[in-house]
């Protein structure tokens, strides 16, 4: 394959990676932005989403699309339930204190990972795509499902933006993010907002995983990569800035995908990390962030 088509392929792969990453990172960014909680277990919510998707898709063997549709609804709900339990039983008791919640979510990371290993086993689990449709370019054929992933992710991102910017719930969330004490004084049930945000963040990770799992199989160790990528995105975009996270996810996901095609995924990860170092040296609060008060 000559350079032009090869680059096109790399850009397509990059777009798919960016689409999934944007959803995952949005969840992490939302939780950090509103609650100031760094959820180290975010990647495990993602992994759990993929595992549940695999389990649900096997319940409906009739047609892959039916199983996929079930997973699309069921996995975020199941993972959201786990997140709700975490929020109530652990995070709330810790008063959302940053250091304590980090340690607790690290613990949760190991617990979820090991339980997934025990329950689902160590082998990778395939989920078939809801439809088989190949877009035929003159040089290569490309999976139509991957483009569906990009479109679906764009729809979810737009919906998230609409909720945040245009609805009453979004307003309440932004008020809590801006100043939780004043919000509480105005009668906003801050603890309910926190619970809702944490569940939403986990559900977004699960949704991203359901979209990805027909492309990449589900495995109990699959959570670490998206977690670290999301961290890169959230740092570069600016901690707490949701707009920054989405923009950074697109840039990082694209470049990660492109470097992975031309060189190696390991090199892409190393470069991503060094990029973070560079951004921090120049601009410690991230590209779109404001210094933490």
Partner 1 sequence: MSSTHGRVIALHLGVVLLLFALQFVVGEYMRLSLTRIMLFAIFAMGYNLLYGYTGLLSLGHAMFFAVGLYVAALGTTLAGLSAPTAFVAAIAVGALFSLTIGIVALRASGVAFMIVTLMFSQAAFLTVLYFGNYTRGDEGIVISESIRRFSFAGLPVDLTDPVTRYNLALALLMLAMMTCLAIVRSSIGHVLVAIRENETRTEMLGYDVTRYKLFALVVSGTLSALSGAAYALMFAYAGSTLASIQYSIHPLLWTLLGGAATILGPLLGTAVMFALVDLASGFTNANLLAVGVVLIVLVLFFPKGILGTIRERWLPWLP
If binding is defined by CB under 8 A, does position 176 make contact with partner 1?
Answer: no
SS3 135: strand
Least Å distance between CB 264 and partner 1? 8
Residue number with CB closer to partner 1 (46 or 142):
46
Given its phi and psi angles, is residue 63 left (phi above 0), alpha (psi -120 to 50 degrees) or beta? beta
Q: Which of 90, 184, 251, 287 binds partner 1 (CB under 8 A)?
A: 90
Least Å distance between CB 78 and partner 1? 20
Q: Which of 75, 108, 129, 202 binds partner 1 (CB under 8 A)?
A: 108
CB 72 within 8 Å of CB 129 = no
If binding is defined by CB under 8 A, does position 81 make contact with partner 1?
Answer: no
Q: What is the DSSP string of 156-224?
A: HHHHHHHHHHHSHHHHHHHHHHH-HHHHHHTT--HHHHHHHHHHHHHHHHHHHHHHHTTTS-B-TTTTH
Q: What is the DSSP string of 18-35?
A: HHHHHHHHHHHHHHHHHH
If binding is defined by CB under 8 A, does position 100 make contact with partner 1?
Answer: yes
Distance CA 181, CA 183 (A): 5
Q: Which of 73, 115, 122, 165 binds partner 1 (CB under 8 A)?
A: 115
Window 184-223: contact mask with partner 1 (x via CB under 8 A): ----------------------------------------
Q: Which of 10, 60, 69, 94 binds partner 1 (CB under 8 A)?
A: 94
Question: CA separation (Å) from 272 to 5, 6, 228?
Answer: 25, 22, 10
Sign of CA dihedral 63, 68, 73, 74: positive
Which residue stretch of 36-44, 76-84, 145-153, 199-207 sits at the interface with partner 1 (rule: CB under 8 A)?
A: 36-44
- By the criterion CB under 8 A, which residues form the site for partner 1? 32, 36, 38, 40, 90, 93-94, 98-100, 102-104, 106-115, 117-118, 224, 228, 231-232, 234-235, 239, 264, 266-267, 269-270, 273-274, 276-277, 280-281, 284, 292
């Amino acid at each position: 394959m000559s350079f032009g088509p090869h680059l096109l392929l790399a850009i397509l792969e990059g777009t798919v990676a960016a689409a999934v990453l944007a959803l995952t990172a949005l969840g992490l960014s939302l939780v950090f932005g509103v609650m100031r909680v760094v959820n180290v277990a975010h990647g495990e919510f993602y992994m759990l989403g993929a595992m549940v998707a695999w389990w649900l898709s096997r319940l409906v063997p009739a047609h892959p699309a039916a199983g996929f549709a079930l997973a699309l609804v069921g996995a975020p709900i199941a993972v959201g339930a786990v997140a709700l339990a975490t929020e109530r039983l652990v995070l709330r008791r810790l008063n959302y204190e940053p250091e304590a919640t980090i340690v607790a979510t690290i613990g949760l990371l190991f617990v979820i990972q090991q339980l997934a290993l025990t329950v689902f086993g160590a082998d990778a689990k395939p989920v078939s795509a809801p439809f088989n449709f190949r877009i035929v370019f003159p040089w290569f054929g490309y999976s139509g499902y991957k483009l569906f992933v990009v479109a679906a992710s764009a729809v979810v991102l737009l919906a998230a933006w609409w909720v945040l910017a245009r609805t009453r719930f979004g307003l309440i969330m932004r008020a809590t993010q801006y100043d939780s004490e004043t919000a509480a004084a105005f009668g906003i049930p801050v603890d309910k907002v926190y619970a809702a945000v944490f569940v939403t963040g986990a559900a977004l990770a699960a949704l991203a995983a359901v979209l990805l799992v027909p492309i990449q199989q589900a495995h109990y160790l699959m959570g670490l990569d998206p977690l670290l990528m999301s961290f890169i995105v959230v740092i570069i975009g600016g901690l707490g800035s949701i707009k920054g996270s989405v923009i950074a996810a697109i840039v990082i996901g694209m470049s990660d995908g492109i470097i992975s095609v031309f060189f190696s995924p390991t090199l892409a990860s190393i470069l991503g990390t060094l990029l973070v170092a560079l951004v921090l040296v120049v601009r410690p609060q991230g590209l779109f962030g404001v210094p933490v008060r």
